[in-house]
Amino acid sequence: MKNVSRRDFVKTGTMATFGLGALSESALANGLADKIVKIGVIGTGNRGTSHVNTLLTIEGVEIVAVCDLEKGKAENAAAICEKKGKKRPKIYCNDEHTYKEMLDKEKLDAVIIATYWDSHSAIALYAMNNGTYPGIEVPAALTVEDTWRLVDTSEKTGIPCMMLENWSFRQDNLAVLNMKRLGMFGEIVHCHCAHSHDCIDHWFFDNKTGEQKWPAKYLLNYNRDQYPTHSVGPVISWMDINRGDIFTEIYSTASASKGINAYMKRKFGNDHPNANLKYKQGDIVTSVLKTKMGKTLVINYDMQLPRPYSNRWLLEGTMGVYDEEKSSIYLEGTSPEYHIWEPWKPYEQKNNHKWWQADYSAQSHGGTDYVMLRQFTDAVKAKGSTPIDVYDSAVMTAIVELSGISIEKNAPVAFPDFTKGKWKTNLPYFAMDKP
Ligand SMILES: NC(=O)c1ccc[n+]([C@@H]2O[C@H](COP(=O)([O-])OP(=O)(O)OC[C@H]3O[C@@H](n4cnc5c(N)ncnc54)[C@H](O)[C@@H]3O)[C@@H](O)[C@H]2O)c1
């Protein structure tokens, strides 16, 4: 089946064959099979190590250097490479600025940045100024000012800058995107998404001692959507944000903060030093975003109450609705029974995106990380644009600070236009063939 380019997509106005083809590789990567991408990984903790393991499964990728504050972690990553029969990467380990030495000395094509949040943007800026593609873990920055720096530097240097938002690459989310582009939901009017993931007992705090880990300080000092990118990642393409539409404002509100203290007392007792601290971060943050074209989006931050994982993705258009949590869909005129849900899975299979032609489920996050890093490294190989661009990375990232400002003011806050007006003419691009 023929794949349709972005230009064909707009020209024909019909989406009958879009993105459903059987081609297995990105068009740009074709002919680049022999090319080696030289990669460095900065931050080889949990996520960085997971990326090392995934990168080792991608042909044509060589991890030439690794960097961490802790020598043991960098050595562990190097040992993983050696065990897989690859050359041992060079280790950089001294202080929080040693990444600069690595980026100066090694001629890296790309760098994966999986450090603490407060160093992401500075490392990415340094990489771009060195001619190296940054693949930045989420979020790409902590302030709107730093987010603008990423946009400006990418434009100035011509080096694409991608935030590694893996949930944009999920098989279900890409199938929804295919269907949206086929017009199956009609005009999109509203979406909802959440990051409902109890991370108090393993990510923010040590689950044996209750001690604070590095992200805990953000819960003490800020009240905002700390982690919006996993929920909003796939949604911005469903809503054509930066590509024909744009967020104009965000209005956020937060519940009281009860979950962290309750967890600490339950697990470690009333006298634990972290059990009676005052955490600024409310348990549930609800943000309402409006777009120029009249769409609305609700995002929930929900990471500190006991609950099973959920993203609660919902998309509603003039012809139907997709509900991820129900794993259901209803399409007006197509669903067999009037206003009765249908199961989602058959639609996912029928509208499978070409990035998911094989079973990657043995890889981390059910294969999503492989699909993302494969597309990222293909782009680096081709010296082309990354599958997620700097503008989409910026939109997802800016929600962190903007939601905090809105909560503080108890008022809506204007959303910046990182495209500087180009959203009006920009064509859809995510998960589409290049023209
Ligand atoms: N996309 C996902 O699914 C996902 C999952 C988990 C974490 N993350 C993101 O990955 C990042 C890392 O999280 P983690 O859970 O792996 O944390 P972690 O604490 O396990 O690892 C972070 C590592 O970065 C190192 N580091 C910090 N600053 C550094 C610097 N300046 N130079 C070199 N090394 C430095 C630390 O020593 C540590 O080993 C965070 O941004 C987090 O939000 C993403």
SS3 letters across 273-337: CCCCCCCCCCCEEEEEEEECCCCEEEEEEECCCCCCCECCCEEEECCEEEECCCCEEEECCCCCC
Q: How far is the CA of 214 from the centre of ligand 1 (A)?
A: 9
Tell me which residue has its CA closest to atom 7 in ligand 1: 47
Helices 46-55 and 71-83 cross at an angle (nearest 10°) of 20
pLDDT at 374: 97
Token match 């939601």: residue? Answer: 403
Which is nearest to 285 in space by CA: 301, 297, 298, 296? 301
pLDDT at 113: 99
Q: What angle do CA 419, 167, 186 make, to 5 degrees?
A: 70
Q: How far is the CA of 382 from the centre of ligand 1 (A)?
A: 28
pLDDT at 26: 52
Report which DSSP code applies to 168.
G
Which is nearest to 197 in space by CA: 78, 94, 31, 309? 309
Q: How far is the CA of 351 from the centre of ligand 1 (A)?
A: 34
Q: Calculate Rg over the CA atoms of the chain.
A: 22
> Which numbered atom of ligand 1 lies nearest the CA of 50?
16
Structural domains of the chain, ranges and CATH numbers in brackets: 23-164 (3.40.50.720), 167-363+384-424 (3.30.360.10)
Mutate to test the pocket of ligand 1, among 137, 195, 217, 232 (most ligand atoms within 8 A of CB): 137
Parallel, antiparallel, or unpaired: how do β-strands 110-113 and 133-136 relate?
A: parallel
Stretches in the chain below the pLDDT threshold 70: 1-30, 435
pLDDT at 27: 43
pLDDT at 435: 55
Q: How far is the CA of 205 from the centre of ligand 1 (A)?
A: 14
> Which numbered atom of ligand 1 lies nearest the CA of 365?
3
Ligand 1: residues whose CB is within 6 Å?
42-48, 67-70, 73, 96, 99, 114-117, 119, 137-138, 166, 214
d(CA 411, CA 398): 17
Residues ≥6 apart with Cβ < 8 Å to 195: 227, 228, 230, 231, 300, 301, 302, 303, 311
Q: What angle do CA 270, 276, 278 make, to 5 degrees?
A: 160
- Tens of pLDDT, residues 285-325: 999 999 999 999 999 999 999 999 999 999 999 999 999 99
> Which numbered atom of ligand 1 lies nearest the CA of 67?
33
Q: How far is the CA of 181 from the centre of ligand 1 (A)?
A: 35
d(CA 107, CA 6): 33
Parallel, antiparallel, or unpaired: how do β-strands 110-113 and 37-42 relate?
A: parallel
Q: How far is the CA of 349 from the centre of ligand 1 (A)?
A: 34
In the chain, count H helices and then E strands: 13, 15
| pTM score over 0.85 | yes
Residue 350 burial by Cβ neighbours in a 10 Å radius (0-12, 13-18, 19+): exposed
For residue 190 the two structure tokens come to 């509203």
> Which numbered atom of ligand 1 lies nearest the CA of 120?
41
